[in-house]
Chains A and B, each alone.
Chain A
Amino acid sequence: MPQAVAIQPALNVRRPGWRGWGLFAPMVAWLALFVVAPTAILLVYSFFTGEGIGEVDTHFTLENYRRIFKPVYLDLFWRSIVYAGATTILCAMIGYPVAWYIGRAPASRRGKLLMLVMIPFMTSFLIRTYAWFTILHEHGLLNGFLESAHLIPTVFSHPLNILYTPTAVMIALVYTYLPFMILPIYTSVEKLDPSLIEAAADLGAGPTRSFFRVILPLTWPGAAAGILMVFVPAIAMFAVTKIMSGGHIRLIGDEIQEQFEGGGDLPFGSALGMALLILFLVTYWISAGRSAKVLRGT
């Protein structure tokens, strides 16, 4: 999606005929039914008042939105942004070289390498999260390995206590979203003409310069898509944060779940959901704007 937006200024888009619309109609129906309608319901609910579990008073109020600005909820939003931001940066740092390697590999091997990236998707992500338990807990595989390699107690004085800490949450988040960074960058890298890099070198650009002036701008649509595909879902992540932190770290997604399922307050949960949606739109707007700028070369 972001790629399309990024490229748009450069193209003269022809208006689609009725056949085009016909092909597009199922998608429109899908969006209307599963995106627009639920969002509209959420919007309406966010102006009601919660009256105990599952009950609402349908008089119009702005109280829910006022409540979001309490420090405790602003903290929650801020923490979610920090975790999602850190996840995005780590995924980009790890994912870009991987995507580059796959994209530059001989065509015959690319399919296999991509397969390796996709394999984790074949297991439920909750199962994959629980697998980290086995690795990270106090008497788990990681500490067992460190002990048998005599790194405990030589390098580390005592078994590592990673599970139920912010580190565990970060590990799970990066692990979950890494493929969403690798795949779009890969598509950009694959399309990149290697002769352009050679040309940059011929014209005297060093590796750093050709990376920042040639490679990055040309692969930016993929990177922007990757950033969006990691940051947006990561900010609304729930369950994983709760599981990996033993219930200590809660992000905005956990709070929304609590409002809807834990006997909280449906209208307030809806208002939090709307606030999150606004945050998505802002993220999208920033990243799309940045893409356009990079493409223009400024």
Chain B
Amino acid sequence: MKLFHIVLIVTMVLSLAGCNRSSQKQQQRLHLFAWSEYVPQEVIDGFTKQTGIPVDYEVYDSNEKMLTKLLSSPAHYDLIQPSEYMVEHLIKRGLLEPIDQSAIPNVSNLLPEYRNPEYDPGMKYSVPYMAGTVGIVFNSDKIKDPIRGYQDVFQPKYAGRIIALDDNREIVSWALDAKGIDINDVTPANLTKVKPLLADWLKLVKIFNSDDPKPQLFSGDVDLGVVYCGDAAKLIEQDKKFKYVLPAEGAHRFIDNLCIPKDAPDKQAAEAFINYILRPEVSKIISDKFPYTNPNGAARKLLTPQQLANPASYPPESVHLEIFHDIGKANADISQLMTELRNGR
């Protein structure tokens, strides 16, 4: 037994030493840290083929997890993929490297409305990757009553039929919208106002899932829910019985970006990657695989009429949409509120 332990430790030490050596070898390599289910492998392989730069691709499933990991491994990642409010937060804390736009001529492919985002005027630190909304998806075979907004989804008669994103800030923002409060006005007073509504809603939800709500909706385990538009668009592509609605009370619009973290080891490779994914034909591959709202005007021209007509990817702009802003310490208040609600208090 002891011998076994020693062998085990020796192997581990050796393998650690091995890791060290390989990282010291200086070779161009792109460390990409991005959302899960968001960057097609084809695109990564295409980039390596084109430039000869191999890509290390790591994934996360929330902006907060990304930030935690980023802070604990400084000067490691070359490219990250934060959403709008996280870009704002990262800029505020000086954690991003300015992007040299002259190295990325393909930014001209972006639609004008994406080129001057309010969270990063002039795209100094970020380049939009994909955008989208959080909205309601429902199975029209099962749900016959009209669904217009959150109040139509969270009804007692749908108890146990609902799926929702497992994201505290998202959930709270739905209740804020339903109460007519600005989704970025997260104050203790406003949280108290939405608490009873949220308590009622949470009881009706069958599944909280941020990763992939498609299987449960497809198999009929649930019939409606509040999800990311990309997942809804995929469901609609597979079966027209699925419908996507932007909540009448207002909805969250998100813009995910590519950014270079401070002290990134290989800034040039990162800029080359941004330029590569902005090519129309490459951006189209991303849209094919993950049908979110593509901010790339040149790529949109390559999409099929069906893709452009998908209401989840390209919704009519009749509903009041708003992006998230950095709310700082109020995140902890949201976290505490949701812990209380989930424990029935």
Contacts and interface: CB of A to CB of B under 8 A. Distances in A.
A binds B: yes
Interface of A: 23, 26-27, 29-30, 50-54, 71-73, 75-76, 79, 137-139, 161, 163-164, 242, 246-248, 250, 255, 258-265
B302 to A, nearest CB: 36
Indicate the size class of the contact surface on chain B: 20 to 34
A51 B329 contact: yes
Contacts of B89: 53
B334 to A, nearest CB: 9
Contacts of B205: 246-248
B71 A54 contact: yes
B25 interface: no
A44 B6 CA distance: 31
Contacts of A261: 62, 64-65, 68
A24 B297 CA distance: 65
A137 B219 contact: yes
Contact of B62 (A23, A54, A262, A265): A262
A26 B8 CA distance: 10
B64 A23 contact: no
A26 B342 CA distance: 44
B17 interface: no
Given A52-B329, A138-B220, A265 B335 contact: yes
Contact of A26 (B6, B71, B166): B6
B331 interface: yes
B15 interface: no
Contact of A247 (B2, B6, B71, B166): B166
Nearest to B208: A247
A75 B343 CA distance: 8
Contacts of B221: 137-139, 163
B43 to A, nearest CB: 27
B335 A264 contact: yes
Contacts of A27: 5, 9
25 contacts: A23-B2, A26-B6, A27-B5, A27-B9, A29-B9, A30-B9, A52-B328, A52-B329, A53-B68, A53-B89, A71-B345, A72-B339, A72-B340, A137-B219, A139-B219, A161-B160, A242-B166, A246-B208, A247-B166, A247-B205, A250-B342, A258-B335, A259-B335, A261-B65, A262-B64
Across the A-B interface, the 6 shortest Cβ-Cβ residue pairs: A247-B208, A263-B64, A246-B207, A26-B9, A261-B65, A54-B71
Given A52-B328, A72-B340, A261-B62, 11 more contacts: A52-B329, A72-B339, A72-B345, A79-B343, A139-B220, A246-B206, A246-B208, A247-B209, A248-B205, A259-B335, A263-B68
Contacts of A54: 67-68, 71
B332 interface: yes
A271 B309 CA distance: 51
Contacts, number: 89
Nearest to A249: B342
B5 A26 contact: yes
A263 B338 CA distance: 13
Interface in B151-193: 160, 166, 168
B219 A255 contact: no
B342 A248 contact: yes
Contacts of B331: 52-53, 263-264
Contacts of A246: 205-209
Contacts of B208: 246-248
Nearest to B164: A247
Contacts of B332: 50, 52, 264-265
Contacts of A76: 339, 343
Interface in B287-345: 328-329, 331-332, 335, 339-340, 342-343, 345
A163 B342 CA distance: 18
A265 B9 CA distance: 34
Contacts of B62: 261-263
Given A247-B166, A250-B343, A262 B207 contact: no
Nearest to B93: A55
B221 to A, nearest CB: 5
B209 A260 contact: no
A238 to B, nearest CB: 13
Contacts of B206: 164, 246
A54 B64 CA distance: 9
Nearest to A268: B332
Contacts of A242: 166
Contacts of B6: 23, 26
A51 B71 CA distance: 14
Interface string B56-68: 0000001111011
A79 B345 CA distance: 14
Interface string B74-91: 000000000000000100
Contacts of B160: 161
B2 A262 contact: no
A76 B345 CA distance: 11
Nearest to A27: B5
Given A54-B71, A262-B168, A72 B209 contact: no
Nearest to B60: A261
Contact of A263 (B67, B166, B345): B67
A121 B314 CA distance: 46
A245 to B, nearest CB: 9
A75 B342 CA distance: 11
Nearest to B221: A138
A75 to B, nearest CB: 5
Contacts of A73: 339
Contacts of B166: 242, 247
A45 to B, nearest CB: 13
Given A260-B68, A264-B331, A75 B345 contact: yes
Question: Most B CB atoms within 10 A — which of A27, A30, A163, A248?
Answer: A248
Contacts of A264: 331-332, 335
